[in-house]
Structure 1
Amino acid sequence: MNLRINIMAAFSAALMLSSCSRGDLDLVVGTYGHNLYEVTFKTDGTFGPLRAIPSENPSFVIQDGPGHYFAVSENDPQSGVYSYSESRVTAFRDHSDFCPCHLLRVGDMILTADYGKGSVSVFPIQDEVVQPKTASIFFDGSGPDSLRQSHSHIHQMRRIPEGICRSQGLSGDWILATDLGGDSIYLLTLDENGNPVDCPELAISLEEGTGPRHMEFSPEGNMLYCLSELGGKVFAFRISGEGGRPVFTQVQVLKADPADAGGSADIHIHPSGKFLYTSHRLSNDGISVFRVASDGTLEMTSYRNTGIHPRNFRITPDGRFLLVACRDSHCIQVFGIDPDDGSLSENPISTLDFGSDQPVCIEFDGHIQS
């Protein structure tokens, strides 16, 4: 009887996996240009036709359920935040001179990472439509690079995953914000009214001059990985809890950019948790591949060159493909992923061209980046 149950369970799991792998994915693509794009990514690694939604420099975009998006408009001096529904813009809220470059939904608000002002700003949401800005939290950091670190530059925000919060006994919501200018990762939590507040005593300091940019979590290993743009390094931290608050212990730092070009960009972990990937620009543009050990530490195993300026990339939920937005090649390239070692196919499986617009962000519908 138990054997039959196990066989049926295994068959059901295989059927579910097969069903997941057969489905096409709806993508939304942010650009430096005049449009946000919707497109279908097919199971054979190719794309359907592009559908354009007129918008100005909708660079970083997030999904919020089928057909609902939010995007920052990196369009200083007229920057702002867009909301979209049913393939149209539902609102644009002014955020002039703040140069937002990333955003995150938390409850009934959008938080923006403001590269220009070194701040995190709050935009309420009502009926899935973004509302005017209500608050900003400013940071005062700087670093040794006088050109790129003269003041704080908040580049990305990530929420500590629920799995890590549960396993480590963390209370409430915790949001991390990278400061490229101040070589720090700041921690914010929510007050009793649901508003974000800074916890300066919990800030994480990185090596001077490295310029932290983007982060990724490994929930199974209770790990945080941070890619530094200027230093081209990955910093690995183990997350624990003390009195309901997070504690970050650095366990490793290693070189990720073989060219030391000072243009490292994005970082993502494979759905299996076995591999980590980072993108690098300005010289020898491409993707670094790392093996993730059982203790969460990393070993670089390969490197694959891509088109010009690979700013953002995403891995399909089934782990079969890596899609990279090559800004200055005006295209998205698709690479196959070897399930044994995580390496990328020698050549792109397919390429999606964008004409004059420059793709810089990829999001899958129904797979929200938190």
Structure 2
Amino acid sequence: MKFFPVILFCLLSIHGFAQNPVYIGTYTKTEGHVDGKADGIYLIHQISGTGALSEAVCVAEMINPSFVKASPDGKNLYAVSELGPGDDESGFIHSFRIKGDNYLEEIGKISTESFAPCHIEIDQTGKYVFASNYVGGVVMLYERDEQGILLKRQKIRLENAEASHPHSVSISKDNQFAYINDLGNNKVWIYNFDPESGRLSPNNQPFVKLEEGAGPRHFSFSKNEEFAYSINELNSSITVFQRDSLGGLHIVESYSSLPENFDGKNFTADIHMHPGGDFLYASNRGHNSIVAFQVDKKNGKLEFISHYSTQGEFPRNFAISPDGSFLYAANQNSDNISIFRINKMNGKLSPHLEPLKVKTPVCIEFSE
């Protein structure tokens, strides 16, 4: 007998499995690169023991919440509104209070002071929030007040602003360094971060430049943070860096995210280290796959494991469950989220249950 995820969710929830809230960012309108169909931010619940997902429910109507981020204390959710020059005066970040039933109550909205905001990061204290604007070379730093409303602290404008495309900010676990992946300038900018004053300042090594045509997009750290990994959108590669004690980056090696015989068009999107630190995963839009690597913890290098079809089209963001047992991939152009079980011994993925239907999903965020 075949059980769909929503039915399985209902059956298993009565047997005491944990139900983890998961928020889904989406596109809601047609842009040059996507035919948005959704209504806003969706809420689903994941059953920890089985990986099943409940039916998606829209809990906040807004335009293009293409990236969402939960605060570490589980009290707030933040969502970009990815707007272009023809839409409004700027892009925005919307602030929500997460209520007891995991539904959302909007409590604030603030400009990102440029256009097409595409990523949110929160520092290790949970006090500061960073937003990357894909257009205009602007990165914003905000402070959270007691309710979770955002207050402007600092505006960073990267060089060559017209060509710059900052795609993400990543904060080290020691909360001392910020790494900005700038696809347009083909650099990873390195900043010192002072959580006492809430300010960024250029590192002694202000940036590392990647190989021509790479296009750094997202960033991930090894478990001990001795190494870091950049997923590069334009040439479908992953660059391994060794980090030094001052936050500097030194290129170790680069790896293709694609099979050798693939000659189609592809754009990489997301990258995540497994919680155990032994495996690294990345998404391919075009090849429509998740690629898995074994991580050598001594030198940070990668050993290819396999590619896995996402059972959908244009997988953008993906998320690994906090317990490291399941991986969920948001297939933007086929309106579904695929579910994989992770073999924690060898890092291999296996399709698990039926994909969940969600309109134009692009971001998956577990909340505490």
Shorter-chain TM band = 0.7 to 0.9
Structure 2 counterpart of 1:251: 252
Letter in 1 for 2:365: E
Structure 2 counterpart of 1:298: 302
Structure 2 counterpart of 1:13: none
Letter in 2 for 1:183: N
SS where residue 199 of structure 1 aligns? strand
**Which ranges in structure 1 are unaligned for 5 or more consecutive residues?**
1-20, 143-149, 163-171
1:193 corresponds to which of 193, 197, 220: 197
C-alpha displacement at 1:264, in angstroms?
Answer: 0.4
Partners in 2 of 1:116 and 1:359 — Cα distance? 22
C-alpha displacement at 1:230, in angstroms?
Answer: 0.4
Q: Equivalent residues in 2 for 1:339-358 (5 A)?
A: 339-345=344-350, 347-354=351-358, 357-358=359-360
Partners in 2 of 1:292 and 1:199 — Cα distance? 28
Q: Equivalent residues in 2 for 1:92-241 (5 A)?
A: 92-95=109-112, 97-106=114-123, 108-131=127-150, 133=152, 135-141=154-160, 151-162=163-174, 173-190=176-193, 193-199=197-203, 201-220=205-224, 222-241=226-245
Letter in 1 for 2:82: E
C-alpha displacement at 1:141, in angstroms?
Answer: 4.3
Partners in 2 of 1:177 and 1:359 — Cα distance? 24
- The structure-2 alpha-carbon separation of the partners of 1:131 and 1:67, relative to structure 1 and needing over 3 Å to count, comes to closer
C-alpha displacement at 1:134, in angstroms?
Answer: 5.0
The answer to whether residue 279 in structure 2 is matched with residue 275 in structure 1 is yes
C-alpha displacement at 1:23, in angstroms?
Answer: 2.6
Partners in 2 of 1:222 and 1:336 — Cα distance? 28
Identity of aligned residues (%): 30
2:339 corresponds to which of 334, 341, 360: 334
Moved over 4 A (4+): none
- The structure-2 alpha-carbon separation of the partners of 1:247 and 1:93, relative to structure 1 and needing over 3 Å to count, comes to closer
SS where residue 276 of structure 2 aligns? coil
C-alpha displacement at 1:140, in angstroms?
Answer: 1.9
Partners in 1 of 2:247 and 2:200 — Cα distance? 16
- The structure-2 alpha-carbon separation of the partners of 1:94 and 1:141, relative to structure 1 and needing over 3 Å to count, comes to closer
2:21 corresponds to which of 20, 26, 35: 26
Letter in 1 for 2:56: L
C-alpha displacement at 1:348, in angstroms?
Answer: 4.1
Partners in 2 of 1:299 and 1:267 — Cα distance? 15
C-alpha displacement at 1:365, in angstroms?
Answer: 1.0
**Which ranges in structure 2 are unaligned for 5 or more consecutive residues?**
1-15, 29-38
Partners in 1 of 2:116 and 2:305 — Cα distance? 36
Partners in 1 of 2:112 and 2:222 — Cα distance? 33
Letter in 2 for 1:46: A
Count residues with an aligned counterpart. Answer: 323
Greater alpha carbon shift after TM alignment, 119-128 vs 37-46: 119-128
SS where residue 161 of structure 1 aligns? coil
Structure 2 counterpart of 1:68: 76
Letter in 2 for 1:44: T
Partners in 1 of 2:66 and 2:354 — Cα distance? 23
- The structure-2 alpha-carbon separation of the partners of 1:88 and 1:223, relative to structure 1 and needing over 3 Å to count, comes to same
C-alpha displacement at 1:50, in angstroms?
Answer: 2.5
Greater alpha carbon shift after TM alignment, 301-310 vs 60-69: 60-69
Partners in 2 of 1:268 and 1:177 — Cα distance? 16
C-alpha displacement at 1:333, in angstroms?
Answer: 1.0
Greater alpha carbon shift after TM alignment, 248-257 vs 191-200: 191-200
2:64 corresponds to which of 57, 80, 84: 57
